[in-house]
Amino acid sequence: MTLDIARLRGSITALITPFRGGRVDLKAFEAFVERQIAEGTHGVVPCGTTGESPTLSDDEFAAVVGCAVKASRGRVPVIAGTGSNSTSHAIELTQLAQKLGADAALVVTPYYNKPTQEGLYLHYRAIAEATRLPILIYNIPGRSVVDMTVDTMARLAKISNIVGVKDATANLARASQQRAACGTNFVQISGEDATALGFNAHGGVGCISVTSNIAPLLCSDFQNACLKGDYAGARELHERLMPLHDVLFCETSPVPVKYAASLLGLCEEDCRLPLAPLTETSKARVRAAMTKAGLLN
């Protein structure tokens, strides 16, 4: 592992994947990554859920991850979303991300299969043994149906290159429980913008954020305040961001955040089926929240 694990912290953006005419818009994506870094984002995640990874071909995955690596130029860590409900496919994607120059891998718990805790352990162990990349477990029961227990995570934390977790359980007790079970060096990153303030107070060190796609400076300022222990300042920023956190999940993510990005002229609002276009009612809500946050006039 060449990545300094201490760099896995702060405001890490779960990047959208811009489309134009049904194809990945790499020009818009490269400019999008550059804007993120310029506004203080601490890391980027290409090909995660927010990047519509289930609809990307392996060739598109390679193009997006490669573009993120090229655009970042080592300034921030690139954490590629390489998860799959097929262990062999997850290994292939993780090895491809390593070859492309990604700094780490974000591996979601296998969806649909509903593996046991032992199945989860064996899945992650097999991936870890097949790569030198640091791995973040992505625990998101709301999308994958399965919830990794603290005990299973503690077993996996003993594997040298399984270095942390993106926790999207929205259960703030987990941060304290996992800290006790996995050790204080185990990197805990929130996967929930709305609860990131409390998560950090419980021992987390950042958030893999949807909102930072459209408000990277505010989100990086918020995380910097948390990292400094300035929770009064962090709370002020959190309260400014909270309407955005809410509205960007008014319909299935990433539909609202892609529409928000289109209002800023960053990309088209297009998502791939089975995600439907944002309704007019929700569009009005997104515009209102962005205006209130000072992102639109």
Kindly list the catalytic residues.
Answer: 138, 166
User: What's the Cα-to-Cα distance from 228 to each of 25, 83, 183, 224, rounded to whole Å?
Assistant: 37, 32, 21, 6
Question: 247-276 burial, b for 16+ CB within 10 Å, e for fewer?
Answer: bbbbbebbbbbbbbbbbeebbebbbeeebe
Residue 15 CA, chain-centre distance (Å), reads 7
User: What's the Cα-to-Cα distance from 10 to each of 36, 206, 209, 219, 283, rounded to whole Å?
Assistant: 13, 4, 10, 9, 29
Distance CA 17, CA 19 (A): 6
What tokens were used for 266? 């960053």
Distance CA 187, CA 77 (A): 14
β-bridge partners, 209: 13
Residues 6+ positions from 146 with CB-CB distance below 8 Å: 109, 110, 111, 113, 114, 115, 120
What tokens were used for 235? 């709370």
Distance CA 31, CA 45 (A): 15
Radius of gyration of the chain measured on its C-alpha atoms: 18
